[in-house]
Structure 1
Amino acid sequence: MSTTAFHIAARDGRARTGTLTLPRGEIRTPAFMPVGTAATVKAMLPGSVRATGADILLGNTYHLMLRPGAERMARLGGLHRFMNWDRPILTDSGGFQVMSLADLRKLTEEGVTFKSHVDGSTHHLSPERSMEIQRLLGSDIVMAFDECPALPATEEAVAASMRLSMRWAARSREAFGDRPGHMLFGIVQGGVTRELREESAAALRGIGFDGYAIGGLAVGEGQEAMFGVLDYTPGALPDDRPRYLMGVGKPDDIVGAVQRGVDMFDCVLPSRSGRTGQALTRRGQVNLRNARHAEDPRPLDPDCTCPTCTGYSRAYLHHVVKAGEIIASMLLTWHNLHYYQELMAGLRAAIAAGRLTEFAAAFDAERLAGDLPPV
């Protein structure tokens, strides 16, 4: 019997809720994965991340291969032991970061040679090396190595990039081999062009993956264009496999994507916002730097049960944000991650009850009403 399984428990329109079972634990879907770029979710302890309701974390192949190094991490017992997180971890392939962060890239059919943004050392990433690094890290869900073209790009450039990514997907599948208890996801590319997206999805179905991701979105094309792609792309993927929208996103992006059949998400937004004095709440975004909070004794969100909202006032949060205190990042990140997990739990319950349309309408109405009026 396989040690990995995806079970859909209920549907509401195109939305699905269920469980993705891995040896290290179950992932309730739709799921949001906090981003642990360098083997840490910034400003959070692993136990605190779990307490927010997270079932799985994301780690970054590019950052971890450069520092502390995949071979070193393997000698130290793998990523889970290294960062003290015993539940599932998904690692991206490194392709996006190579394109966006590395210096002096040279792209060929074989792979990408680049200089590290950390120390200038030269490295080579290919589908085979990406699979090897992710095996050394010990991640439970491995992403195929793909190329992310810099946007804006011509349709010809997007098409050439997508077809290169599909050839790399086949090599990733071959190099991944047979690893019981681990899953390999392919990544649909093709920009905002339906024919290219459908060609990419067909190529990935032909290769065969344990799950399928939709890449190359949330890179500046706007929500309307992203939803346009999501109106057809999930339906081009196998119904019995999980679907993961990479790098998304804002709470309203997630609700709209779930309505269109997406099961998994990741984004740096809740943790990054927490470190810049921004709180994400059911009433929208709240900037704790604003002077209006300086004497406000109320919690950030009176309906939120996170430690930040049950223990601290807006006035205190304003003070520690303005003073640059480390606890500001800790408290706001905890709240933001808690809010995201609460949103996912609400979506799962709404789908199970057949009430997703009503849930989304209430979500929109509450955000439209805006923050609490000043005291």
Structure 2
Amino acid sequence: MISLHTSPLDQPGTGDAGGMNVYVIELARRLAARGVEVDIFTRATRSTLPPVVEAGDGLVVRHIHAGPFEGLTKEELPAQLCVFAREVLRAEAAQPSGHYDAVHSHYWLSGQVGALARDRWGVPLVHSMHTMAKVKNDALALGDHPEPAARVIGEEQVVEAADMLVANTDLEAKQLINLYDADPGRVEVVHPGVDLDLFRPLDRARTRDDLGLARDAHVLLFAGRIQPLKAPDVLLRAVAVMLERDPSLRHRLVVPVVGGPSGSGLDRPEALATLARDLGLVGSPGRPDVVRFVPPVAQADLARWYAAASVVAVPSYNESFGLVAAEAQAAGTPVVAAAVGGLTTVVDDGRSGLLVDGHDPRAWADALARVVGDEALHARLEAGAVAQARRFSWEATAAQVLAVYERARTRMRESVS
């Protein structure tokens, strides 16, 4: 596997680490459990990182030195593709001939390296886009930057080079075909999974006690990277509308924002905190704080936050899948999500959560108030959330991806013959 721009060992929720990091490491672990040896190549971002990390039985993460360890943005990484590719090829050359059977690249930068490895090693390339520039640019968040033309061209090249493309949802498959002219026969839909052992319902009262949350609070949780694409500001504006409509809610509403600045959010890392103050969501004498900012947490701690929440809000402008929504539902917590991208697959509207068209704070306030204000609805959504999450498991994902690898090998043999 190639995950050039972000390591699967990085803490999700800040920088460039997010759902893709979880996807790569969890899929690799499940493949290794099936007897598949997996090497993950990623760029070293600290001089102290060991060249090789044994991440489990049959699973190795290789840190490649390519460019400065720190300070490079994702937009600057294309200049390091050549040196990264050279080091990947050098690592393979130290192995016995035919050491690798397939390459699975993640994100377009990795796909560029994967295409070179495919041709050099004579093995099939399977690629996962995770996000696509054309899709992001069509649904650009206010204050976000459009993806550059170089990325669009690079993605088109990877789509053409890959033997098989893994799409997270039917919608993503259609986008690959319609926007990138992908051959439908080379696109396979495989849903990402959820760690159902880790993300599961917990005793809500006890979990809230542990996290310092009132047992009777309406806890509206945002978890993820703080950047315009993820739209945490929509949640804050919706909460302000809820308080304007019913000021008595102030003593019950708690809005934890779990995550750190990322992407274009790094341009103004204090913007969300400033917005919270401007909206009156930060306390003053006699007025409790509504918003609580929590730094990124480990997956086990994130599972507790999900389980403690009344609702998890996912107001993103686009999501290729939406792991936060899937994990929250596995914890038995209803989700209110934007009706975009993969979220329309992950959230069963009216059964495991509610989907909201658009990003109007008033519409979001309506949906959030409906879930926390109707106990019967909340109970139905809790049960539906757990049932919906069972549709997604990493074991099923690994089995299907293995089948995609075999299809890619067959296609490559046929193309050679």
TM-score relative to the length of structure 2 = 0.34
Pick the structure with more helix per residue.
2
Pick the structure with more strand per residue.
1
- Point out the structure with max Rg over C-alpha: 2
TM-score relative to the length of structure 1 = 0.37
